[in-house]
Chains A and B, each alone.
Chain A
């Protein structure tokens, strides 16, 4: 009798159902390569502007519109063939393109080019660009530059007038009140629009290889991207050694070993809001909803479409999918309603939201 009772007690957990994996966004992935007219398969950045999608690639700028790709290269007026980043001025639809040879503006079919020789641009190696109100902010290999669109004045920011001790600025995320820079090797820099003052955020342990003070500050100095959520005053930061979130009071660091990040090597971070964020890594595209994670990629071993879901307890399940982004090396993404567009090392992927 006691054995029967013991067996029945042991059987209860076995009979109870495992909690269902959390519902995470599901996509049907449509991939574009040079075979579809994309200028190059190595795509550093995508930007959505309504029904248009811009792609910054290693060999030109691509525009996807009405089901076709159009290509722009130096022969068409683009300042340099290697386009690293694209942003669009929401008010005017002017397109700003960061390249390895200067900054281009594409407006109504005309390219205007800014170089360090013909303008106040700090350096021709431009990694990032962002337009906010009447300013164009650039992240270059020799510091940050801001163009006043009304007066034409360039203001430069570097190690002599900001706290940055490395001047290799990599990405910029502007708000109306604050502007954030990811400075490769110097953490995150914050510019207060009202006071015109700069402030830096650094890795408190200063350790390159380890995270000694978890959640005490920025996870690492080698930052590649920052995404500012102005409404909630939250920044998300991508580094080559993990990710961070800061709400102006508390830091939260994310590492592969204790989160759903498929890798600590991040190229970009793109916030949905203060709680949810997308991470572009070298081992897949990750999404975090504040508790749970999803990773979208071709499986690292087989190359087959893979979607991994990690819940708040750390349990990982594999969702059944038959499509995936073009490659696991993800450079960045942008949103088009519920859809996502993704820049990868092997083309552009359009994630059509199905669930």
Chain B
């Protein structure tokens, strides 16, 4: 109940703000006449006349829409509502929502292949296969962690899914993501390409002939100490090139030696296969790639060079021809059917940039009619997603806190000694009121966490002004927690969750002996966000930790923030107690039966 209240308060805070549209994805109607623009901020599908730029209709869809697909005949537009767990089916003639289909947890992208709709369910880590006519979900396919973006091959025979988080692997090993290939005839997972050293992967696109695929991705350097930032020492903004044209997939940086293009997100390849475009959200630009030069470069690489190409900061000079400045936080893109125009959704400007692909320059911007005043919260959001403050603009907050969440990685940060104090990255939703920050509690507030510390140890560059820092902190504090999928809408707990609550609240062991206060779950994990905001010892200190004192983390959304413990060494919630609590220092759990531990975890998932 307390969590619901906190969520409601955060929502109200956000609600009192003007409601910016936040266009995130768009598609062009098959006849090229219309733009369909998904606006996640206003829960709308905005329909615009492509020629005049005038809005035709604003269609209310579900909560936080994030993706869309258009039927080949243009008659229907499917919108994935990420926080509603639904797909809105919009009739293109009437521009009304004709039907609403249920999908999995957090459908972020939707694609149509044959008679089936596919949604990539970010929190469920799976892909729903839905009968496009009836809305019945016929099966659920196992994907990777954070399945988010789908692309259908031109033949329609296969579908690829990318993932914004790496799959959880052994502790302190090379992160690995995957491309999940789905056979659309049988609707099953055909294969998975393991992509080493890739953490977040975003949009993918195919060339018209289906022989070339390009995916946007981030290559993290989380296994080495963040001793400096130059030479791509923190994050590599890159693309993955795959398909028949290249054989074994190859990762290539789109960064340059002394300038980086943060948060590659959207991908579009012109029908003539001469040009590819990558939107770089943190750089407020679109990177232009000469595809023939790209292919020539890749084909000239030796097998050894192919493996190392992902670290070559000189590579981009071979195939990147231009960077086009667009609006703030460019995200999804779409080409007109003839390839003459590229439309770019500028999420934090509430506008669409229209790029003439012959000249590769912006010919105009289409305002979508978002609120005029730019509030401190809005300014803060713009700062969060922009990389301009870091050295050579390599990364911004959102590079590690993807859409305000996490990156699924543990890092060696700050000058505390190489290999010392490895720390797990945590999501930023619901952090307001949970100070201090840093796993050792060393930062008393967000102003310190995001200000001095970030500038000095992460960005190693320009400082935020006081106003900028205030705005940024305001934005982070206002981030609402996403809906909890494991708790019933009315707040009632299932029988297993009730039993788990009883375990969480217990004050006696099963043999009747009292549990000391400091070992009761509710002592440290108390308050509206399940943290008493104190330092404590839970027996999880590693030889590489300077101290055993840990700032008690909050538990809101804990189900989604694997791995766990201060250094990310517990891959699942179970392991917190089955592996890392041999002496009952992190709560008394060794007298629990297996099903009692399962119940506790079922309860924790509701927080």
Contact = CB atoms under 8 A, between A and B. Distances in A.
A18 to B, nearest CB: 52
A153 B496 contact: yes
Interface stretch (A54-62, A110-118, A321-329): A110-118
B579 A92 contact: no
Contacts of B104: 150
Q: Interface extent on A, as a size class?
A: 20 to 34
A351 to B, nearest CB: 27
Contact of B575 (A94, A117, A156, A158): A117
B390 to A, nearest CB: 34
Q: Is the interface of B mostly helix, strand, loop or mixed?
A: mixed
A105 B143 CA distance: 12
A116 B142 contact: no
Given A94-B142, A107-B189, A109-B192, A117 B579 contact: yes
Nearest to B121: A150
B574 A120 contact: yes
B141 A92 contact: yes
B591 interface: no
A120 B496 CA distance: 13
B594 A122 contact: yes
Contacts of A155: 496, 598
A92 B188 contact: yes
B486 interface: yes
B140 A158 contact: no
B574 A117 contact: yes
B575 A118 contact: yes
A134 interface: yes
Given A108-B181, A110-B178, A117-B579, A156 B574 contact: no
A149 interface: yes
Contacts of A197: none
A46 interface: no
B594 A116 contact: yes
Contacts of B601: 120
B595 A158 contact: yes
Nearest to B559: A152
B192 A91 contact: no
B578 A118 contact: yes
A118 B597 CA distance: 12
A119 B181 CA distance: 27
A118 B571 contact: yes
Contact of A150 (B140, B186, B189): B140
A119 B594 contact: no
A68 interface: no
A153 B602 contact: yes
A153 B496 CA distance: 10
A109 B486 contact: no
Chain B CB within 10 A, most for which of A116, A134, A142, A154: A154
B142 A108 contact: yes
Contact of B574 (A118, A149, A158): A118
Contacts of B189: 92-94, 107-108
A155 B601 CA distance: 12
Interface in A106-159: 107-110, 112, 116-120, 122-123, 134, 142, 149-151, 153-156, 158
Contacts of A116: 578, 594
B2 interface: no
A150 B126 CA distance: 9
Contacts of B181: 108
A110 B192 contact: yes
Contacts of B140: 92, 134, 149-150
Given A92-B141, A117-B575, 20 more contacts: A92-B188, A93-B186, A94-B142, A94-B189, A107-B189, A107-B192, A108-B181, A108-B190, A117-B574, A117-B578, A118-B572, A118-B578, A119-B572, A134-B140, A142-B594, A149-B140, A151-B485, A154-B598, A156-B594, A158-B595
Interface of A: 91-94, 105, 107-110, 112, 116-120, 122-123, 134, 142, 149-151, 153-156, 158
24 contacts: A91-B139, A91-B188, A92-B139, A92-B189, A107-B192, A108-B180, A108-B190, A109-B191, A118-B574, A118-B575, A118-B578, A119-B574, A120-B597, A120-B598, A142-B594, A149-B140, A150-B104, A150-B124, A150-B126, A150-B140, A151-B485, A153-B598, A156-B594, A158-B595
